[in-house]
Amino acid sequence: MTDKLRVTVWNEFRHEKEHEEVKKLYPDGIHETIAKALREHGFEVGTAALDEPEHGLTEDVLAATDVLIWWGHMAHGEVKDEIVDRVYKHILEDGMGLIVLHSGHFSKIFRKLMGTSCNLKWREIGELERLWVVSPGHPITAGVGEYIEIEHAEMYGEHFDIPEPDKLIFISWFEGGEVFRSGCCYERGRGKIFYFRPGHETYPIFYQAEVMQVIANAVRWAAPSHGPEVTFGHRPEPLHPVG
Ligand code: ZN
């Protein structure tokens, strides 16, 4: 047994196989780049991918996962609903944390958790992004400056059709003029969810130390709190005599 937090990095792992440019940047897949950085942050990290049986997200894998990280883009529709339901249950009932990255805004699991379209504006011309910290006391911002700059980013712009975040951590400004809520915290059931915007597949964003620092902080924040088991339904016996 280990007392390290256990992270599973899920990647659809398609761009890296199909697009030369992406393969060059992330030769072992985006998930392996993220996993390597998180191991350096002291976590026990496994990976899972869409084309593995049960998308690599078996009951055993999820039961041994404190925080699941999700990266998907071109194959959201191929993720089986039964696996989405399984992940959802682990979040709400067991308190597994979830970190959704970048284009994961359109993943089935994020849309199911949010209950909205999660749609947004986008443009891909490699412009500058500046993520401003708007909650400097929040643990997800530990060790980060007042802002993070990403030299070349895909733009995501408001309106981002999400429910009001329980806590907003970052707002992005883009060179072209748009803004975006790029770090959003939610609680659903016993679980915690963090949406973090950076991470387009053709830019080396997951090699950037500040980005990985935020993800590492988010792992610690989203980890299960091991609070009380909850019960629902008919409760015929009062705690104290009544009347
Ligand atoms: Zn993208």
What pLDDT does 161 receive? 98
Our count of domains for the chain comes to 1
Residue 224 C-alpha to ligand 1 middle, in angstroms? 29
Q: What is the pLDDT of residues 122-152, one digit of tens each?
A: 999 999 999 999 999 999 999 999 999 999 9
The answer as to whether 133 is a domain residue is no
Q: Which domain holds residue 67?
A: 6-114+183-222
Residue 91 to residues 164, 193, 222, Cα–Cα distance (Å): 19, 9, 10
Query: What is the average per-residue pLDDT within 184-201?
Result: 97
CB 128 within 8 A of CB 134: no
Task: Give the global pTM.
Answer: 0.97
How does pLDDT run across 15-27, given as a tens digit for each residue?
Answer: 999 999 999 999 9
75 Cα: distance to centroid of ligand 1 (angstroms): 13
d(CA 201, ligand 1 centre) in Å: 6
Does the residue 175 lie in any domain? no
Q: Write the single-letter amino acid at 145.
A: G
* Structural domain includes residue 176: no
In the chain, what percentage of residues exceed pLDDT 70?
Answer: 99
In a domain, 55, yes or no: yes
Q: Is pLDDT above 60 for 213?
A: yes
Residue 10 Cα to ligand 1 middle (Å): 16
Element (H, E) at 30: helix 30-40
Question: What distance in angstroms lies between residue 199's CA and the mean position of ligand 1's atoms?
Answer: 7
- CATH number for 195: 3.40.50.880
What single letter denotes the amino acid at residue 36? Answer: K
Mean pLDDT (the chain) is: 97
E-strand stretches of the chain: 6-11, 44-49, 67-71, 97-101, 121-133, 147-157, 167-174, 179-188, 191-196
Residue 51 resides in a domain: yes
Query: Which pLDDT belongs to residue 119?
Result: 98
pLDDT band at 111 (very low <50, low <70, confident <90, very high): very high
1 has pLDDT over 60: no
Report CA(103)–ligand 1 centroid distance (Å): 6
Domain contains 104: yes
Q: Give a yes or no: residue 208 inside a domain.
A: yes
Task: Provide the pLDDT confidence category of residue 207 given band limits of 50, 70 and 90.
Answer: very high
C-alpha to C-alpha distance for 190 and 228, rounded to whole angstroms: 9
Residue 2 confidence class, pLDDT cut points 50, 70, 90: low
166 is a domain residue: no
